[in-house]
Structure 1
Amino acid sequence: MPGGELVTARGGRDQGMGRPVARHAAWRWATAQAQLVLNNGDLGEILRFYRRVNALTQTDLGILLGYDKTYVSALELGKRRIDDVGSLRRVCAQLRLPPHVLGITDPADADHRAMVQFAASTVRLAEIARQSGHASEAVSELWPLVARLEARLEDGHCEREVLHLLGRARIGLGVALGNVLPEERLGTAAHWTLKGLNIAEHADDPEFTGYALRMHGNELRKAGLRGAAVDRLGRAVALAPDHSAQAAALPLLARAAGAMRDGALFDQVIRQAEALLDQVEHTSLVNPFALHEIRLRGLVATGRTATAIRLVEDSPAPTTTVAPQWRVIELVTVAHIMLLADDLRGATATLETAVAEATTQRLPHQLQRIIRTAGNRLPELRAAAAEVLDRLRGEMAA
């Protein structure tokens, strides 16, 4: 190691000071193992962990911290300790540790804790807003939060709780965008859910990873990447730790299987989802109303239109657990089947309601479904939906 320079892929040289500086992976403090080490607050254990995951020698770490190898060894063995606050702050800064880990309390740490509490509340409230039919408001709340958390990540602060919040905020932003963007821009929604999945897969948290796979897989389906969607959603089902998690993933996998026109997989998954309905608490996705719509659309996609026509009138009444956008989704699907059955009057009335509700909820993707469904058979409805869609596009461009 000539001149004491770090030669690992994670190292570089500070040209101004002539000392090596760390260029570490963003996930060094994000794993469950790292969290256990940090919770102990033992400096020696923290230093040993840091060297191990970053492939550093004691000499390397000493150069990084401004100590010699002997002093680093003594710190790791507990034979020496650092007592003055200035030195502890320098260690935290160099290793990108939150100050409270080493017992330091200062205004920056207080700001950090307040930021974490604010971020957790924002992510939770944005999810409630989205499920209540206010996806635009969810985007408005999550966009600045994601920017703030990513700025902290760029500064090198990668503690587990912040990365977990950033992952959920990215996913929430992607899913909300998936409601408010038109089809040609749905790749943006999938991009943000993928960024959340990237964090989840490094966080050593199967439950979080399963959630991220579920959300990303559904956005991939909406963006037209159906094979990738089935893969991600299948992995989410496999990772599900309990019936509730399985029930959340199975309807989305059924939709993706139907979109792929894989009748055998669709039938298998829809049966699994229906079998769980009585075993789990119903949510905006896991409920008889949503599952009925998924079944109808899947039947049409897999060439069983006659069966869908027979079942279209059997729709269960929506309950308080059904998200408002699901009502619009169901209306468009039912209208499509009515047209297949040559029921123009029923399809017209149903699509008129769908246009009104899609306009109120600002759902361009559903307006595009309405336009395709109306086609040449219902030109006035197609024109009305296109007019609203153009207006929403103009507002988004502005």
Structure 2
Amino acid sequence: MARPDPHGGIRWHWTTPRAQAILSRRRLSEILAFYRELYQLPQEELGTLLGYSTSYISRVETGSRTITDIGALRQIAERLQLPPHVLGITDDADGDHHAVMQFADSVLRLAEIARQAGQAAAAVDELWPLVARLEARAADGHTETEVLRLLARARVGLGVALGHVLPEERLATAARWTGKGTAIARRLDDHSLHAYALRHHGNELRKARMLGAALDRLALAQDLAGTAEERAEAVILLARAAGTAGHAGAFDSAVTEGRRLLDSASATSLFSEFTHHEVHVRGLAGTGRIREAAALLDHAPDPGPQTTPHWRVISAITAGQVLARHGDRSAAREQMTAAIKAAAMHRLPQQLQRVVRASRGLPEVREEAEEALARLRAEIAA
């Protein structure tokens, strides 16, 4: 297990349900004990990191010594990569409500840019402290609509970013965060926000293999859509979920609707001719129509400037998977090898897991994917 880097980014481990419960109690003794467990640190090493003796750390963890000095607590929060709120410190910016709101909106925009540029881990590092700050404000009674709207967006954004960087067996954490965002959005009188949250929650549920719930959320997102772009994004995700579930009728209907919307909806990072093509190919394969899927590969559109690195990786894996099942091993190997390199570069473990599953007849590709996946697991494993 990697040792913590006090100058590095915030780890995703702080977003798990257990960590959230510990942080919500704001007890330094619990936080230190959890931190040591998380990184397998003896008290001596934690003391070195924080600038205290081993015996002092032991007394803090047992509760026989408390730290109340604001400067000391702020330094501990910084060294542990935690927002000051979790240690009971009011950040200077919180004195100005409008400054906090402006800060939050900026972080959300920058995190979205980072995620779409293939830097989802950096988006997690930006979003988690923002979520902690906004939740602290809500817990302290700041429940204005503006605060709750930002909190809903931040929760959903964090879940989506986690959904990129976590391996498949941990994707329930991503779905949990998008679900928490959706719960707020549902209570606000904002159909656009609710539809946005439902789209992303449904997609994270799909990735976590909770397909029935995913289809329900995405169908509702489609019904709530107020613009052609909102409807197009809901439809493309609904098609992905239906194809994954093997529901040919629902998949065909969604793909047809998506093709119609290509003429009326503006292209986004989620919905475009390129993403529609990938979803169509994968859904045909998922519903047992390999020959049709392989034929459709010959008509792949250019990615275009709006296509994110994540979607390019997804498309390459889908093409490799279809080609392998169609018997074209050489072309499949080429697609999957390119996908492995890109997935490793952008830290996309679940895409490497897709390659491992899809390359059973290509042992050298499977081995390369497993090695890349092992390296990523070493970086993010708790």
Structure 2 Cα separation of the partners of residues 179 and 388 of structure 1:
16
Which structure has the larger Rg? 1
Aligned to 1:175: 160
Supply the distance in 2 between the matched residues of 1:108 and 1:346 (Cα, whole angstroms).
Answer: 55
Match of 1:165 among 150, 153, 160: 150
**3-state SS, counterpart of residue 241 of structure 1:** coil
Among 287, 292, 296, which residue is 2:281 paired with? Answer: 296
- The Cα shift of 1:262 comes to 0.9
Match of 1:144 in 2: 129
Q: Distance in 1 between matches of 2:314 and 2:159?
A: 19
How many angstroms apart in 1 are the aligned matches of 2:259 and 2:327?
30
Q: Does 1:272 align with 2:248?
A: no
1:384 to 357, 365, 368: 368
Q: Are the counterparts in 1 of residues 94 and 100 from structure 2 also a CA contact under 8 Å?
A: no
Determine if contact 2:116/2:309 at 8 Å carries over to the other structure. yes
Deviation at 1:397, TM superposition (A): 2.5
Q: Counterpart of 2:38?
A: none
Root mean square deviation, CA, Å: 1.3
Q: Does 1:312 align with 2:284?
A: no
| Partner-residue secondary structure (3-state), 1:314 | coil
Deviations 1:350-372 (A, max 9, x none): 11101110011110010000100
Q: Which has the higher contact order (CA 8 A, sep 6+)?
A: 2
Identity among equivalent positions (%) equals 52
1:286-311 Cα shifts (integer Å, max 9, x gaps): 11111111001100111111111111
Structure 2's unaligned 5+ residue stretches are: 1-91
TM-fit CA distance, 1:167 = 0.5
State whether structure 2 residue 110 is matched by structure 1 residue 118. Answer: no
Q: Distance in 2 between matches of 1:221 and 1:316?
A: 25
Q: Please, which of 210, 214, 217 is the counterpart of residue 232 of structure 1?
A: 217
Output the CA distance in 1 between the equivalents of 2:139 and 2:118.
33
Shift of 1:112: 1.3
Q: How many residues align?
A: 291
| Structure 2 CA distance for partners of 1:259 and 1:319, relative to 1, 3 Å | same
Kindly provide the amino acid, as one letter, of the partner of residue 266 in structure 2: E
- Aligned counterpart, 2:70: none
> 1:272, CA displacement in angstroms?
0.6
Q: How much has 1:270 moved relative to structure 2?
A: 0.6
- Pair 1:109–1:331, CA change in 2 (3 A): closer
AA aligned to 2:336 is L
In 1, Cα distance between the equivalents of 2:326 and 2:94? 64
| 1:131 CA displacement | 1.1
* TM-score of the two chains, using structure 2 as the length reference: 0.75
* CA distance in structure 2 between the partners assigned to 1:201 and 1:364 by the alignment: 31
CA contact (8 A) 2:93 2:99 kept: no
Letter of the 1:175 counterpart: V
Query: Displacement, 1:243?
Result: 1.1
Structure 1 residues 374, 162: CA separation in 2 closer, same or farther (over 3 Å shift)?
same
Over 6 Å off, 4+ runs: none
- Is 1:211 paired with 2:220? no
Q: Aligned partner of 1:162: which letter?
A: V
Q: 1:132 to 1:301 in 2, by over 3 A?
A: same
Matched residue type, 1:126? A
Instruction: Kindly provide the CA deviation profile for residues 65-121 of structure 1, in whole angstroms up to 9, marking residues without a partner as x.
Output: xxxxxxxxxxxxxxxxxxxxxxxxxxxxxxxxxxxxxxxxxx988521101100011
Label 1:108 to 1:324 Cα distance change in 2 as closer, same or farther (>3 A): closer
1:206 Cα offset (Å) = 1.0
Amino acid at match of 1:141: E
Question: Structure 1 counterpart of 2:181, which letter?
Answer: G
Where does residue 395 of structure 1 map in the other structure? 379
